[in-house]
Amino acid sequence: MRVIFKQAEDFEISAGFFIAAWKVWFKRFSPSHDAQRHAWKYGKMPIGLSDSSLSDLIREDRRFTLEVMARMMVPWAYRNNAQVDDTFLRDHIEFIQQTTIGYDSGSEEPAACLSDHALSLWDSMSFAEQDTYMNYAEARVQADIEVKSTDPVVLDDQGIELIGEDTYPPYIPEKNADDIEFIRALVRWIEDAPYQAYYLKKPTGEAVAGWHDRLLAFFWPKPRIGYALHYAAVDPLYYRANELAKTLERGNDWDDEWRDMAVKTATELFNVSGTPQKDVTVDNVKKVIKAAIDADENATAKMNSGWTYLAALCTAHLEGEQGRLPLISWNSRVASSVISRLDFLLAEAGVTELGGRFQNIGTVPGWGGTRPRQYTLQWPNGYRSWKTQIAASKLANQIAHILNTETKPSGEKRYRLMPLAGGGKGPWTVRGVQRVLFLDGY
């Protein structure tokens, strides 16, 4: 059973995913959730029919509406278009019942509630299946929220953090030092600075410090899905993405079964990352994977906060191969971490213009948590840019190299080995670096 969004060119999600999103919306945005634990099952959500942009709806405090929820289910290109209308409600009467909400003033507002059939369907699912859909829905809220306009879209909490105000870097390189010295300073700074994770605007877990402990503190999209559990959940997708890439590297093409696997793998990756995409075709998936394994900065393949995740995953097998480049997922969180810290280090060193420094390292728009962050220097826009994707991946590989090789004057390794999700320790990888930067940039 599927929920189809006709205003998004028939984009569809499973009924289970839709019900999970409904539950998440009550947990996140319903004013009555705290007082009524099971409000999502029997409560009413305003329908909120509107042609306004997603940004305007959120500014008008209309997060808790079926309209905003529906827009967050569809790819970014359709999020400024109305998704809920009479046809949508009629087509999905099996899951949604129309009703009204009455207010103390005597006014009423059109609303919706889940049908008995929807609740029965949810209860018939295994807990594992429910958890999967809940994680997909949570990811929609936590991920980079892309729309066609440049207006900020903030579903989650937001605040501005001035990097360097609370924890000054251990050292500042000389003004004329090479870029690599500023990267070394960035790595040392993240090692030295304390980190506190937040969820639902509240601290979660203990504050930690150091790359090693920061990685162990990783979670997505909620604290219960920590480092090891998240790794286990996405590992089958990593495996398939890398097998698809290896086949193309050998000069072979995909047969029908593998073509289906390519689309399914990409679609599931976008659900995990909370960045649904349109045009998830065999051709587009192949172009992205080919550009990624070739490290083609001039590629014309798809690129945004969703496709960068596929590009990163499908190159994980290149880790440690001489002359090859495993890619990083350069989304707004990772970009905010790297650029805000480099910006502060450069400015403190007396640099007033980037000039030729950190060429093609560019920003990615994102709101929520401490994003957007304030910068002193004029960093270029790196959104949807393969030049930025490749430059950022080279920088991430430099970070991994520093973590694996830098020593103290005594000869002792400066940084602890990377904790492995399955236990034990090993050399730092771009995947490990990415997870630490992802948390640091929120």
Alpha carbons 362 and 390: distance in angstroms, whole number: 11
272 strand-pairing partners: none
Residues 6+ apart with CB under 8 A from 267: 280
Asked whether the predicted pLDDT for residue 279 surpasses 50, the reply is yes
Better pLDDT: 367 or 336 = 336
pLDDT of residue 276: 93
Using one digit for the tens of pLDDT, what is the confidence trace for 283-295?
999 999 999 999 9
Using one digit for the tens of pLDDT, what is the confidence trace for 149-208?
555 555 565 444 445 555 799 999 999 999 999 999 999 999 999 999 888 778 888 999
Classify each residue of 306-320 as buried b or exposed e, where b means 16 or more C-beta atoms within 10 Å of its C-beta. bbbbbbbbbbbbbbe
Amino acid letter, 46 = P
Better pLDDT: 96 or 32 = 96
Choose among 218, 389, 396, 382: nearest CA to 308: 389
Q: Residue 67: in which H helix or E strand, if any?
A: helix 66-73
Asked whether the predicted pLDDT for residue 135 surpasses 70, the reply is yes
Asked whether the predicted pLDDT for residue 109 surpasses 80, the reply is yes
Residue pair 16/125 in contact (Cβ under 8 Å)? The answer is yes
| DSSP H stretches of helix in 153-298 | 179-192, 211-216, 227-249, 256-273, 282-293
Q: What phi and psi values does residue 151 have, to the nearest 5 degrees? A: -65, 140
Interaxial angle between packed helices 430-440 and 332-348, expressed in degrees from 0 to 180 and rounded to the nearest 10: 80
Q: Which whole number is the average pLDDT over 395-413?
A: 97
30-33-35-41 Cα dihedral, nearest 10 degrees: 120
Asked whether the predicted pLDDT for residue 323 surpasses 50, the reply is yes
Residue pair 372/441 in contact (Cβ under 8 Å)? The answer is no
Residue pair 388/362 in contact (Cβ under 8 Å)? The answer is yes
Alpha carbons 411 and 105: distance in angstroms, whole number: 73
Q: Residue 202: in which H helix or E strand, if any?
A: strand 202-203
Asked whether the predicted pLDDT for residue 148 surpasses 80, the reply is no
Percent of the chain with pLDDT over 70: 91
Alpha carbons 221 and 140: distance in angstroms, whole number: 9
Residue pair 341/189 in contact (Cβ under 8 Å)? The answer is yes
Mean pLDDT of the chain: 91
407 strand-pairing partners: 413
Alpha carbons 411 and 125: distance in angstroms, whole number: 56
Note the pTM of the prediction, 2 decimals: 0.89
Using one digit for the tens of pLDDT, what is the confidence trace for 37-55?
568 999 999 999 999 998 8
State the pLDDT confidence band at 371, using cuts at 50, 70 and 90: very low
State the pLDDT confidence band at 104, using cuts at 50, 70 and 90: confident
Alpha carbons 331 and 274: distance in angstroms, whole number: 12
Alpha carbons 439 and 369: distance in angstroms, whole number: 10
Lowest mean pLDDT among 101-105, 304-308, 398-402: 101-105
Q: What angle do CA 230, 232, 236 make, to 5 degrees?
A: 115
Burial class of residue 76 (count of CB atoms within 10 Å of its CB; 0-12, 13-18, 19+): buried
Using one digit for the tens of pLDDT, what is the confidence trace for 410-423?
999 999 999 999 99
| DSSP H stretches of helix in 77-226 | 86-91, 116-124, 127-142, 179-192, 211-216
Q: Quote the tokens at residue 10.
A: 């028939």
Asked whether the predicted pLDDT for residue 32 surpasses 50, the reply is yes
Alpha carbons 401 and 405: distance in angstroms, whole number: 6
Alpha carbons 124 and 397: distance in angstroms, whole number: 46
Q: Which whole number is the average pLDDT over 27-36?
A: 70
Alpha carbons 186 and 224: distance in angstroms, whole number: 29
Residue pair 206/195 in contact (Cβ under 8 Å)? The answer is no
Alpha carbons 76 and 74: distance in angstroms, whole number: 7
State the pLDDT confidence band at 144, using cuts at 50, 70 and 90: low
pLDDT of residue 161: 44
Q: Quote the tokens at residue 31.
A: 């004013």
Residues 6+ apart with CB under 8 A from 213: none
